[in-house]
Amino acid sequence: MEWTTLFILILSSLIFLFFLGVPVAFSFLFVNLLFGYLFWGEAGLTQLILSLFRSISSFSLLPVPLFLLMGEVMFLFGIAQNMMETLEKWMGRVPGRLSLMAVAGGVLFATLSGSSMAGCAMLSQTLLPEMEKKGYRSQVTLGPIMGCGTLAAMIPPSALGVLLACLAQISVGDFLLSIIFPGLLMAGLFALYIIFRCLLQPDLAPHYEVEKISLYEKLVLSVKYLLPLGLVIFSVIGLIIFGIATPTESAAVGALVCFVLAFLYKGFRGEILRKAILNSVRITVMMFVILSGATAFSQLLAYTGASQNLVKLAIGLPIPPFLILVLMQFILILMGTFMEPLSILMVALPIYMPIIRQLGVNPLPFCSVLLINMEMATISPPFGLVLYTMKAVAPQYSMAEIYKASLPFLIMDMIAMAMVMVFPEIALFLPSVAKK
């Protein structure tokens, strides 16, 4: 059979199962075992068992559960909420003050957790009631909360970043460093948008008198709630930059520091601890069962000749390589409107990475852009996961309002993607510093 027929058959069966509502993980496994059996008979099924083991038992995947654990501990113990309150004391009288708080809080939360949904939930819980009380309109409340929630996966700890690096077979440490500046760039663009929008339409975010607090009080609160978080940031990012620890080790130290901080702030709370561990087990299992089919799926595509021929096809296209990259990202944007990030990565990366390597493109900036794209998928209508998180925590808003509020932030994400594509140094700077 022609490779194109096989390729279309594999991909369409997968997408068909997705749409039937079969869990993504079992759709991948089913396609793997079906085509594995058709290609190699019973040996294919034995091979599948071994490839499940090889896909998951990897040292580079270890930061994923540890990062998830960190995020859950910080979120459930309410440490992020204390951080937000302290941060608010420092914010002066600026246009769209509380919306800008979402940006600052989003960036700080991103250094503690990698979950966009938790980011959105935390920002909603801490900011939305106050925003509503002060008369902020949905354009400058929901949008910034959702947009800034997605920063969580852009700044380490980022479980999705680790998974992307593993699937793309690039250095996890380098990749975690390379996404920091693109993440900050997104935050900068969000902040600029909020300021301009509030300057142009001041009625969206009415000014209000900010409660005066003495410098001493601010400093005490900061030493209590912000400074210790520096320790977490150092454990995760600092240890990698200074070459003291691998990403896995820095994740473990980060998680340990989070536990210590949580116990110091709130004391030992068994029920919350149990919930934090169970939540992280749940998300780890959910992600890893999807990932378990990764090796087998790549082998299937390689066996059919699809990987090799798609590379030839892409290189033979009469358009410049840059446009090929844009086209690849564009396809992912479309997929992002109805699929969640990990499933997109599992389908796309085995096809994309050989093309990237053959085109001679540096995979670090390309994958950073891809991660922004994936975060965009979580807030792109109609099926973005963060949109539904927003609806769950703020049911008083209609889905139409939530969709509308997300649009400007999607545009900011696209601008960030374009900037990293045109100036790859944004992504390459920190990994190069670490190498020195």
Partner 1 sequence: MVDRVFEILERIVRRYNSALVLLASVMMGGLMGIVCLDLLLRYFFNAPLLWGTEITEIMLLDITFLGMAWVFQEDGHVVIDVLINKVGGKKKKVLQFISYAVTGLVASVLIYYGFYTTYDHFKRGVFNPTIMETPIWLIIMVIPIGSLPLFLEVLIKSWRLRGKSG
Binding site for partner 1 (CB under 8 A): 17-27, 29-30, 33, 42, 45-46, 48-50, 52-53, 56-59, 61-62, 65-66, 69, 244-245, 248-249, 251-253, 255-256, 259, 274, 277-278, 280-282, 284-286, 288-290, 292, 338-340, 342-343, 383
CB closer to partner 1 out of 34 and 414: 34
CB closer to partner 1 out of 91 and 256: 256
CB closer to partner 1 out of 191 and 296: 296
* Residue 240 beta carbon to partner 1: minimum distance, rounded to whole angstroms: 13
Place of tokens 């900050």: 184
How far apart CA 140 and CA 124 sit, in angstroms, is: 12
CB closer to partner 1 out of 102 and 163: 163
CB closer to partner 1 out of 285 and 334: 285
**Those residues with Cβ within 8 angstroms of residue 103's Cβ, 6 or more apart along the chain or in another chain:** 144, 148, 187, 190, 191, 194
Task: Name the amino acid, one letter, at 244.
Answer: I
Most distant pair of Cα atoms in the chain: their distance = 76
* Residue 354 beta carbon to partner 1: minimum distance, rounded to whole angstroms: 26
* Residue 188 beta carbon to partner 1: minimum distance, rounded to whole angstroms: 31
CB closer to partner 1 out of 69 and 179: 69
CB closer to partner 1 out of 192 and 334: 334
* Residue 151 beta carbon to partner 1: minimum distance, rounded to whole angstroms: 22
Query: Which helix or strand (DSSP H or E) is residue 15 part of?
Result: helix 3-20
Q: What sign does the CA torsion over 57, 63, 67, 70 have?
A: positive
* Residue 262 beta carbon to partner 1: minimum distance, rounded to whole angstroms: 13
* Residue 23 beta carbon to partner 1: minimum distance, rounded to whole angstroms: 4
Tell me 423's DSSP state: -
* Residue 111 beta carbon to partner 1: minimum distance, rounded to whole angstroms: 19
How far apart CA 48 and CA 292 sit, in angstroms, is: 10
DSSP 3-state of 31: helix
How far apart CA 271 and CA 250 sit, in angstroms, is: 26
* Residue 16 beta carbon to partner 1: minimum distance, rounded to whole angstroms: 10
- Residue 358 in contact with residue 370, Cβ under 8 Å? no
Q: Looking at 214-322, which runs of residues are DSSP E strands?
A: none
**Distance between terminal CA atoms of the chain?**
51
How far apart CA 39 and CA 61 sit, in angstroms, is: 29
Tell me 226's DSSP state: T
CB closer to partner 1 out of 63 and 147: 63
